[in-house]
Copies of this chain bind each other. A is one copy, B any other.
Amino acid sequence: MKTWREECAVIGIWNHEEASRLAYLGLFAMQHRGQESAGVVSLHENHHIHHKGLGLVGDVFSEPDLIRLKGAAAVGHARYSTTGQNLLTNAQPITAQLLNGPLAVAHNGNLINAHELREKLQKEGSIFQGTNDTEVLMHLLSRHPSNDLIKALQDSVVQLEGAFSFVVMSHDRLVAIRDPYGFRPLVLGKKKNAAGEWAYVLASETCAFDLIGAQFVREIEPGEIFWVDQQGEHQLMMDRKVSRKARCIFEHVYFARPDSVVFGHSVYESRKSFGRYLAKENKVEADIVVPVPDSGVPAAIGYSLESGIPFELGIIRNHYVGRTFIQPQQSIRSFGVKIKLNPQSAVLQGKRVIVIDDSLVRGTTSNKIIGLIRAAGAKEVHMRIAAPPTINPCYYGVDTPHKSQLIASHQSVEEIRKFIDADSLTYLSLEGLFAAMKAKSDSFCAACFDGNYPTPLHGLDRISP
């Protein structure tokens, strides 16, 4: 029920006879990271075969598509389409025919100097297909004088500023690159193929490994360039130093699947821990702790454990929504929320209720949920947000609303409480957030909460998002 939208999931498979099918399954497991377009490119006899489409992974690919995507290597991508009129053009992986052969790039992140690089490249005659910042890398590579892809990548990625976890496939290798800040996750796994050899798997989240039966090996390190080819695996570090790491804390707050291990931490445990700290930081007398499902559940469990107040599924979620749901013509009150969430009177009637949500963006949904909870008979509603107030937009790959739409950027907690009509409202403190993660604040990016952007913004803060 949030409007946070992650930019993407990436996946790469090397040396497996069902490469495109594993890529498809991996994207399926990471569907939560991008639900508006999906694509897979496979490598077959030195050629690339591709298939992209708008929609959920399960709808974009049919059995004949996967049969057509022959080959033992593949790269895949799922994303939120940017708004605009030519959505499919921006779908990934982006592909091109370079002199040395075909190249496919899947990107999770956002390049903050893409605009400058793009203008420079266009002045030199480069053609851009879409408005996607990922194309910049493709052009830097195509202009590189060397025939050696790794050399070209080394020289190209140091020019990129911002967040990037790339999976790149050429006619003879699969490459993973993560920016030196380490904004976005990228993990390496392996799995036996039919011949009993190791296949390599690269993915945004470990939940993809769980589904396809791969073992987790390690994170791709911030600043690392890793690749596999017929000779085996290789690794080197980018020639670019940065003063700190900046793993995205929001992966733990909201994006990642709870059953993933991200940046070395269980997401589920992080969230439970946020709930525990939330309970520690502010006590309130209440009868039950109720999560906004599904994202608020782990924090509510933690809150309940810490506070001793019973956990209850007071709001039931309907998962049968589907894509083409037809709205009623006559307005049913709060219909948009009700189609997914039903606060049940049998649990809430006459109760003092603590409601746990993972974050709060505009406040309009919270307002509706609290309205429905009160209509179901709750006596008191205490809203608890398992993260600090979101006051700044993200420039590193999270599709946040404009700052003006972030209610916490211009209203006090008390004003927000009134707006959402809660009896009380508290957020997790910034200190609590880091303490819960047992992490130092300079190893994570929490700019959305504290405004401490790890990189220069190249003027982006003056325009968007």
A328 to B16 alpha-carbon distance, docked (Å): 12
Any B CB within 8 A of the CB of A59: yes
Which residues in chain A, 319-340, are within 8 Å of chain B measured between CB atoms? 319-326, 328-330, 332-333, 338-339
- Residue A61 at the B interface, CB < 8 A? yes
Assembly of this chain: how many copies? 4
Chain B residues with Cβ below 8 Å from A99 are: 119, 122-123
Q: Which of B50, B63, B194 contacts A326 (CB 8 A)?
A: B63
Cβ proximity bits A388-424 to B, threshold 8 Å, 1 near / 0 not:
0000000000000000000000000000000000000
Question: Known contacts being A98-B122, A322-B56, is A313 close to B128, with CB within 8 Å?
Answer: no
What residue of chain B has the Cβ atom nearest to residue A22's Cβ? B328
CB pair A128 B97 closer than 8 Å: yes
Question: Which residue of B is nearest A16, CB measured?
Answer: B330
Give the CA-CA distance A160 to B316 in the complex, in Å. 37
In the complex, which of the residues B29, B128, B138, B342 contacts A210, with contact meaning CB atoms closer than 8 Å? B342
Which residues of chain A from 284 to 307 have any CB-CB distance to chain B below 8 Å in the complex? 294, 297-298, 301, 304-305
From 340 to 398 in chain A, residues with beta carbon under 8 angstroms from any chain B beta carbon are: 342, 344, 346-347
> How far apart sit A384 and B17, CA to CA, in the bound complex (Å)?
41
Q: Is A161 an interface residue (CB 8 A)?
A: no
Which residues of the other chain, B, contact A325 by a CB distance below 8 angstroms? 28, 58
Which A residues, 255 to 312, have Cβ-Cβ distances below 8 Å to chain B? 257-259, 261, 266, 268-269, 294, 297-298, 301, 304-305, 310-312
Q: Mark A32-53, 1 if CB is under 8 A from B, else 0.
A: 1000000000000001111000
Asked whether A211 lies within 8 Å of B119 as measured between CB atoms, the reply is: no
Within 8 Å CB of A342, what residues of B? 207, 210-211, 259
A438 to chain B, nearest CB (A): 14
Kindly list chain B residues whose C-beta atoms are within 8 Å of the C-beta of A17.
Answer: 330
Which of chain B's residues have a CB closer than 8 A to the CB of A165? none
Band of interface residues on A: 35 or more
The CA-CA distance from A97 to B89 in the complex, in Å, is: 11
A213: chain B residues within 8 A (beta carbon): 332-333, 338
Which B-chain residue is minimally distant from A123 (CB atoms)? B99
Q: Is A318 an interface residue (CB 8 A)?
A: yes
Q: Is A31 an interface residue (CB 8 A)?
A: yes
Contact flags (1/0) for A167-211 with B, using CB distance below 8 Å?
000000000000000000000000000100000000000010011
User: Quick check: is A25 within 8 A (CB to CB) of the other chain?
Assistant: yes
Contact A313 B297, CB 8 Å, known A86-B50, A122-B99, A346-B266: yes
B56, B66, B143, B301: which contacts A320 (Cβ < 8 A)? B56
Alpha-carbon separation in the docked complex, A124 to B262 (Å): 41
Which residue on B lies nearest to A322, using beta carbons?
B58
Within the complex, the shortest CB–CB distance from A204 to chain B, in Å, comes to: 15
Shortest CB distance A294–B (Å): 8
Taking A97-B130, A127-B139, A298-B313 as known contacts, 11 extra A-B pairs with beta carbons closer than 8 A to each other, sorted by chain A number, are A25-B328, A28-B320, A31-B320, A126-B127, A207-B316, A211-B332, A211-B338, A213-B333, A257-B316, A261-B346, A311-B311
